[in-house]
Chains A and B, each alone.
Chain A
């Protein structure tokens, strides 16, 4: 009990918070059958595609999977700095 209090004072992570976070991620990966590595690759690819059209803050782009009982949603969030100017009819390049 006293240890718990001291841990709180020095801001030590509660093990149940770690458990909860691990569980939430494990369930997402279980359900979608994808690994963290694949998610990382997806993030890179999304950055690449979006960058053809917008100049974005690549470091602030977040990729999140929100899980509901019946579906999972892929949520990509990124601040847009400005649009990439390109000539009409010409294929966009990265």
Chain B
């Protein structure tokens, strides 16, 4: 087996990196791939909570990378999704505890065991970011349609290019109503500014909060808009690069349409 290592990064924190990693990883596994999702945010782990595996941690990535345990011991098998494994971050270590070499060596070993290795990059562009990027073949940059997020994404894209990685972009938390009335950057605006290729558009979705509450990835549910968008990103990574990207749109109820029509509102 010769798996692909993909880093999920953003520069800015809180834009949905871990949620994307958990869901894309889960969707890839549900497609029959052997998937390892790795929490690279040492000292502030969270990917375990998103997958509902927080009570199962014995060994961490630090143990695995430093040879204190076998990779198999650090890789926690998901409860419900076959073929999905989590390598959690350690909560007690310093964030600079791992060297680039230790991470790249670990990922080289993982490559032989898994089809996909997803690295959930920490926020920022320091050591944790550098380590994650050094081990990755490909990169997915997550950004939200906000000035600060797009600015940080631009910085990160520049750093990835410097390492000869051409990243793909996910615009997350799109609120179609706000885009429609001109109060939120559209995905076209974001692509225009960052000038990189898209790999997905994810709408703002309350279900994300609920899924975090319960620790069950969204992609396992059928009726979530964000879950559907994330699932399609996984398909694109998994050999269907040309699967059309759906643009989140305003869903109008019958009554809303009527009212708008009456008062001469647009559309």
Name A16's contact: one of B151, B155, B186, B266 (CB within 8 Å): B186
Minimum CB–CB distance from B198 to chain A (whole Å) comes to 16
Interface size on B, residues (CB 8 A): 26
Name B147's contact: one of A14, A22, A69 (CB within 8 Å): A22
Kindly list chain A residues whose C-beta atoms are within 8 Å of the C-beta of B197: none
Minimum CB–CB distance from A35 to chain B (whole Å) comes to 16
In the complex, the chain B residue whose C-beta lies closest to that of A18 is: B147
Name A24's contact: one of B158, B193, B260, B266 (CB within 8 Å): B193
Kindly list chain A residues whose C-beta atoms are within 8 Å of the C-beta of B184: 16
Residue pair A14, B185 in contact (C-beta under 8 Å):
no
What's the dominant secondary structure at chain A's contact region?
helix
Whether, in the assembled complex, B239 has its beta carbon less than 8 Å from a beta carbon of chain A, the answer is no
Known: A26-B147, A26-B151, A30-B155. A1 touches B193 (CB 8 A): no
Residue pair B180, A4 in contact (C-beta under 8 Å):
yes
Residue pair B151, A19 in contact (C-beta under 8 Å):
no
Cα distance, A5 to B184, chains bound together (Å): 16
Which A17-68 residues have a C-beta within 8 angstroms of B? Answer: 17, 19-20, 22-24, 26-27, 30-31
Cα distance, A94 to B235, chains bound together (Å): 65
Interface size on A, residues (CB 8 A): 21
Kindly list chain A residues whose C-beta atoms are within 8 Å of the C-beta of B182: 4, 7, 14-17
Known: A14-B182, A20-B185. A5 touches B265 (CB 8 A): yes
Whether, in the assembled complex, A3 has its beta carbon less than 8 Å from a beta carbon of chain B, the answer is yes
In the complex, the chain B residue whose C-beta lies closest to that of A24 is: B193
Known: A26-B151, A27-B151, A27-B193. A16 touches B265 (CB 8 A): no
Whether, in the assembled complex, B154 has its beta carbon less than 8 Å from a beta carbon of chain A, the answer is yes
Cα distance, A14 to B179, chains bound together (Å): 10
Q: Which residues of B contact A (CB under 8 A)?
A: 146-147, 150-151, 154-155, 158, 161, 177, 179-186, 189, 192-193, 195, 260, 263-266
Can you name 6 A-B residue pairings with CB atoms under 8 Å?
A: A1-B180, A1-B260, A7-B182, A16-B182, A20-B193, A22-B147
